[in-house]
């Protein structure tokens, strides 16, 4: 339950910040910082259970409400991207730096590819030859860097709200 309350507090703030303030910074033309994607991937990495998928659903809903794309595109893209950390994460490996980098790279790539496919299938005029791969690579790098930076604080929050069970 605490997981959901924290999501209801953090995700809307990050979605509003991402869609209203970040486009006005100069670095947005070369790279796209996806705050909601980074927090969803981080949370799914440190809190791997079915409740953490709620973060992807809420984040996608907030981004869909604030964007001009069809409703549901961000929900599906974020949910598909958050499956990777939810499946590969464990209590032992979630703190390893290589897993963080792997999750950041694959999560960002899956998010953008699924989002582009959904835009194409819903009627948006898109050309696969014009896919900005340089922006994708730059976005992957900045998202991985930010994910590495915020993951210790996300892990700290997850440890504080998790009930500790001892099985005999």
Higher-confidence residue of 92 and 166: namely 166
Paired tokens of 58:
């809420």
What pLDDT does residue 168 have? 62
Decide if 47 contacts 155 (C-beta within 8 A). no
More confident residue, 133 or 168: 133
Give yes or no for a contact between 135 and 34, defined as CB atoms under 8 angstroms apart: no
Which tens digits make up the pLDDT trace of 86-138? 777 655 555 677 888 888 899 999 998 898 889 888 887 766 666 667 778 88
For the ranges 43-47, 67-71, 148-152, the maximum mean pLDDT occurs at: 148-152
Spell out the residues 6+ positions from residue 101 whose beta carbon is closer than 8 angstroms to its own. 144, 148
* Of the listed ranges 72-81, 90-99, 147-156, 158-167, the one predicted with least confidence: 90-99
Say if CB 78 and CB 59 are below 8 A apart: yes
- Which of 81-85, 86-90, 144-148 reaches the highest mean pLDDT? 144-148
pLDDT at 165: 65
Average pLDDT over the chain reads: 82
């Amino acid at each position: 339950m605490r997981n959901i309350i924290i999501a209801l507090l953090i995700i809307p703030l990050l979605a509003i910040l991402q869609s209203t303030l970040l486009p006005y910074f100069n670095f947005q033309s070369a790279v796209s910082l996806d705050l909601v994607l980074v927090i969803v991937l981080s949370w799914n990495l440190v809190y791997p259970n079915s409740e953490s998928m709620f973060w992807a659903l809420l984040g996608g809903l907030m981004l869909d409400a604030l964007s001009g794309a069809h409703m549901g595109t961000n929900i599906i893209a974020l949910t598909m991207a958050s499956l990777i950390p939810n499946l590969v994460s464990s209590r032992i490996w979630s703190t390893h730096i290589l897993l963080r980098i792997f999750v950041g790279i694959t999560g960002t790539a899956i998010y953008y590819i699924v989002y582009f496919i959904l835009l194409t299938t819903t009627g948006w005029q898109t050309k696969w030859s014009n896919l900005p791969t340089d922006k994708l690579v730059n976005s992957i790098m900045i998202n991985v860097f930010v994910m590495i930076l915020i993951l210790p604080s996300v892990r700290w929050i997850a440890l504080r709200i998790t009930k500790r069970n001892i099985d005999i």
